[in-house]
Amino acid sequence: MAQSVKVGTLKIKERNLGWKLIIPTIIIIAALIVYPVIYNIYLSFYDVSISPGKSNIFVGLQNYVNVLTDPDFWVSFGKTLAFTLLTVVGSILAGLVVALMMNRNFIGRAFVRALLLLPYITPLIAIVFAWRYIFLPIDGPLIRMLSTVGLIDSGVDLINDPNNAFWVVTIFNVWRNFPFVYLMILSRLQSISKTLYEAAEIDGANAWQKFKNITLPELYFVIGSVALLRGIWNFYKFDEVYLMSKFAGTLPIYIYEKAFLGVPEQGVAAAIATILFVGMMALIGFYVKKVLKW
């Protein structure tokens, strides 16, 4: 009897300490992430003033009507979807191939593995200028190389042309993020039991059959989660796109330009952000349900 009381107070003490230690985190996240998300929805119904003296004017659904009837928005929306899809597929394919390569022993593997991390860990601002340099018309080394082979015209400016910027930005994003995918897949690959392959060999399976029937099913979960994570991140990716080219035209750039450049229309920007948020929540919900299985 006495003992159970003792255990009870210990439990309460532990609970109290637990809450005390986590409270700062909760307050910070509630005040600076949860509240702003809700506030953003609120702002999307207003004509938001940017001078502190003037108050916001309620406009109902007008911002949404403006956005949804704006053809630019739909172009931008399409580009965002295409960007998300292409970068996810591209980085998963590249990451998978590279992980399979790095899972073998070869001369210089340690060097290649160290090198592979560079695109991902180098600060963004330190790598975009090199990329912009190699894509310069006429003088950029990559453009020069491609035009000698006859693939493109050397005068073409890929980065500052809205039609082509999208592709440069997509390739850049795959280049930058495939190391993340490769690392995740490799760590899973290395934990697949060797006996599975031995058994398959005894049954006379060839390399492709082993890959299809053992490796892929084992990787299914990690590929699924990485695809969703990258999808969610790239759906609202701003800096990697904007710093590479302002002309890529995805939604985050559209929001940024509406909210902070020229004549700011922050209410409209909030409406677009809300639409983006709904899309993102759908992706996150899918992730939580299907991948994390809560």
Partner 1 sequence: MVRRKNIAKKTGFYILVLLLVIFVAYPFVWMLSISFRYDTDAFEPGLIPERPTLRQYGELLGLVKSIREEMSQEEQQMMELIKDLPPEQQEAFLAEIGAQRKKETFPFIRFFKNSLFLAGISAFISLIIAIFGAYSFSRLEYKGRGMIQRSVLVVYLFGGTILAVPLYQIFVKLGLFGSGARSYIALVIIYVVQTLPVSLYMLGNYFRTIPYSIEEAAIIDGCSRLQTIFKVVVPLSLPAIITVYIYAFMIGWNEFLFASIFVRPYPEYYTLPIGLNELFNSAHAIWGKMMAASVVTALPVVIMFTMMEKYLTGGLTVGGVKE
Q: At 168, is the secondary structure helix, strand, or coil?
A: helix
Alpha carbon distance, N-terminus to C-terminus of the chain: 38
CB-wise, 151 or 195, nearer to partner 1?
Answer: 151
Pick one of 58, 93, 162, 187: the residue that binds partner 1 (CB under 8 A).
187
Rounded to a whole number of angstroms, the minimum distance from the CB of residue 17 to partner 1 is 6
Choose the binding region for partner 1 from 62-70, 81-89, 150-158, 255-263 (rule: CB under 8 A): 255-263
Please give the size of the binding site for partner 1, defined by CB under 8 A. Answer: 86
Rounded to a whole number of angstroms, the minimum distance from the CB of residue 283 to partner 1 is 8
Is residue 15 within the footprint of partner 1 (CB under 8 A)?
yes
Is residue 57 within the footprint of partner 1 (CB under 8 A)?
no
Question: Restricting to residues 58-97, which ones interact with partner 1 according to CB under 8 A?
Answer: none
Is residue 54 within the footprint of partner 1 (CB under 8 A)?
no
Is residue 133 within the footprint of partner 1 (CB under 8 A)?
yes
Counting Cα atoms < 13 Å in the Cβ hemisphere of 18 gives 6
Sign of the C-alpha dihedral computed for residues 78, 80, 83 and 88 taken in this order: negative
CA distance 160 to 142: 16
Question: Restricting to residues 99-128, which ones interact with partner 1 according to CB under 8 A?
Answer: 101, 104, 106, 108, 112, 114-127
Q: List the alpha helices (DSSP H) in the chain.
A: 2-29, 35-43, 62-68, 71-102, 109-121, 124-134, 141-149, 162-189, 194-202, 207-210, 216-235, 239-242, 251-260, 266-286
Angle at 43 between CA 42 and CA 49, to 5 degrees: 150
Pick one of 67, 86, 92, 184: the residue that binds partner 1 (CB under 8 A).
184
> Which residue, among 200, 253, 274, has the nearest Cα to 48 in the 3D structure?
274
Is residue 168 within the footprint of partner 1 (CB under 8 A)?
no
Question: Restricting to residues 275-294, which ones interact with partner 1 according to CB under 8 A?
Answer: 276-277, 280, 284, 287-288, 292, 294
Tokens of 70: 């704006």
Question: Restricting to residues 18-47, which ones interact with partner 1 according to CB under 8 A?
Answer: 18-22, 24-26, 28-29, 32-37, 39-40, 43
CB-wise, 124 or 216, nearer to partner 1?
Answer: 124
C-alpha separations of 90 from 174, 247, 277 in Å:
6, 21, 24
